[in-house]
Structure formats: C-alpha cells, structure tokens
Amino acid sequence: MTTITALPPAWATLHAALRARRTVLVSYHGRWRQLCPHALGWKDNRPLLLGYQTGGQTSSGTLPGDPHKRWRCLHIDEIDQVTAADPASQWQTADNYNPSRPFPAIDTLSAAIGPNGHS
C-alpha cells in the first residue's frame, strides 16, 4: 500500500491543467518543457506526472519526431516551476495513450485523462 505524503506546490497547477486540458510550461532539472498533463499519481511515496511533451527542451537536446516517444514521467517534487502555457498552445496526446492504465510506473493514480479526453 502506498502512503500518500503532502502534495508539492506544483500539484494544484498540474491538476487544474489536466482537468481543463491545458498546456503548461514546466522547469524540470534545469530545462523548460511544454507539457500536456495526462496523469497524476504516486510511485514509491513520491508524486508523479505523466505528460506529453509538445515543445521546449529535452535531456537529449531535441524533441523526438515520433509522437509515441514524447511521453515524460516527472517527479513532481523535482519541478522547480510550473506555469500556464500560451493559451494558443493546443493540448495534444498520442494514439499510444492508454486511459485505462496511463502509465505503469504509477502505483496509485489520482487523476487522469480518460476515454474521449475526459478527466
């Protein structure tokens, strides 16, 4: 059983963006990433975000051309800053997203985009 710890400051902003299907800008490990939040949950008592990256920087330097390889799993307690992206930024996903099991790394799912894009 997972013991839920206190929510980090970025959680509320990410949760609101997920529910509204809005893109966010996230500073994570010194890089700015534009993400579409798809799932929030817990792994080993740490808060986790599954996001689909649509822009910004990556650890490899460039965003993969293959949309199936743009999924990012971020520890929310390591996010330095999160803000709403430009309202013109379109929320996106890839056809390999599975709403019934958003990401196997999440032990306890708190919120996720479900079938037909509903949260």
Span 22-36, mean pLDDT? Answer: 96
Q: What pLDDT does 106 receive? A: 84
55-99 pLDDT, tens per residue? Answer: 999 888 888 989 999 999 999 999 999 999 999 999 999 988 887
User: CA torsion sign, 74 to 113 to 18 to 88?
Assistant: positive
Q: Quote the percentage of the chain above a pLDDT of 90.
A: 65
C-alpha angle with apex 35: 2 to 99, nearest 5 degrees? 55
115: pLDDT strictly greater than 90: no
Q: What pLDDT does 62 receive? A: 85
Q: What pLDDT does 114 receive? A: 80
Q: What pLDDT does 104 receive? A: 73
Residues contacting 42, CB < 8 A, separation 6+:
2, 4, 48, 106, 107, 108, 110
Whether this model's pTM surpasses 0.85: yes
Domain residue ranges in the chain: 10-111
Percent helix, percent strand, percent coil in the chain, to nearest 5: 15, 40, 45
- Of residues 8, 13, 18, 22, the one with CA closest to residue 111: 18
Q: What pLDDT does 89 receive? A: 92
Span 14-20, mean pLDDT? Answer: 96
Residues contacting 15, CB < 8 A, separation 6+:
37, 40, 110, 111
